[in-house]
Amino acid sequence: MPPDKQATAEDVERDGPRRLLRAAAPQVLTGARVALGAAAVAALDGRLHTSAALITAGAATDILDGLVARRLGVASAFGALFDTFSDYLCFVVAPWLLTRSLVAAGGSLTQEALLGLPLLTGALRYARNSLLIVSAGREVRELPGLATVFFAFLPVAAVFLDARALVGASALSAGLTFLVVAFSLLMVAPVRYPKLAKAPASAAAVFVPLVVMPFFGTRVLAGVMVVAGLLYVSLAHLSARRPGRRP
């Protein structure tokens, strides 16, 4: 074998494990979200603050895995699909169960059905978006509908703000039910929201409070995040780039 070809083969052999580690790094973060979501469900037995903190940690990994994948140049359709399955557990199932722990028992059948809406719309959102990812054959940066992490933050914020003591069990039950329905419908709405994590500056602005919030300045940071989140949900879709429109 000529020396130059031999060197090339050695380079490929040496770079193989490195390439594998680069590809695995974001998947490890995504997989951690599965563990965090499952732990959040397990912590619901009287440890609501712990459950809320674990869901918040899952949101932090959601920011990191995309940034890492793009930074290392390993963003892929597989990673995007893996992300959706992890998100459903951490941002739909676990928060839904946390919501059920916060809402006063003995509600009507209608209220029970409304509170279960995110399980349906979340599944529909991920099924639709998975089809878009598969047909594109790559990561799709802006998918239609509101990200499920915003629904997840509803019960998390209620826990961190101690909303039951703040507004009373009845008002919390009614308010959460209304917001759950609104956010659930927005998950499958034909509108696009700009992805916060696509720019390092905006990702850092969200990531740092998420990491700090369960431990320091919890009520203040949760209040700030609630206001910022409601503003984003109400207005951000107006600035999102529409399909077919040039950047």
- What are the phi and psi torsion angles at 103 (to 5°)? -75, 140
For residue 233, pLDDT over 70 is answered with: yes
Amino acid at 101: S
How confident is the model over 172-178, as a mean pLDDT?
93
Rounded to 5°, the CA angle 68-130-124 comes to 120
Provide Rg for the chain, Cα atoms: 20
How confident is the model over 23-44, as a mean pLDDT?
92
The helix or strand, by DSSP H or E, that contains position 227, with its residue range, turns out to be helix 218-235
Cβ(209)–Cβ(196) below 8 Å:
no
How confident is the model over 204-230, as a mean pLDDT?
90
For residue 247, pLDDT over 70 is answered with: no
For residue 179, pLDDT over 90 is answered with: yes
For residue 5, pLDDT over 50 is answered with: no
What pLDDT score does 9 carry? Answer: 44
For residue 65, how many other CB atoms are within 10 A of its CB?
25
Query: CA 51, CA 57: separation in Å to the nearest integer?
Result: 10
Query: CA 194, CA 44: separation in Å to the nearest integer?
Result: 32
For residue 51, pLDDT over 60 is answered with: yes
How confident is the model over 3-22, as a mean pLDDT?
56
Cβ(75)–Cβ(138) below 8 Å:
yes
How confident is the model over 218-241, as a mean pLDDT?
86
How confident is the model over 134-157, as a mean pLDDT?
82
79-91 pLDDT, tens per residue?
888 988 999 999 9
What pLDDT score does 67 carry? Answer: 83
Amino acid at 69: A
How confident is the model over 105-134, as a mean pLDDT?
87
Average pLDDT over the chain, rounded to an integer: 84
pTM score, two decimals? 0.85
How confident is the model over 34-50, as a mean pLDDT?
92
Which percentage of the chain shows pLDDT scores above 70? Answer: 84
Comparing 128 with 52, the larger pLDDT belongs to 52
DSSP tag of 144: B
For residue 75, how many other CB atoms are within 10 A of its CB?
18
Confidence bin at 125 (pLDDT 50/70/90): very high
Comparing 121 with 16, the larger pLDDT belongs to 121
Reference 216, options 53, 61, 64, 91; nearest CA is 53
Query: CA 181, CA 121: separation in Å to the nearest integer?
Result: 10
Reference 82, options 129, 12, 44; nearest CA is 129
Comparing 202 with 122, the larger pLDDT belongs to 122
Sign of CA dihedral 31, 236, 138, 25: negative
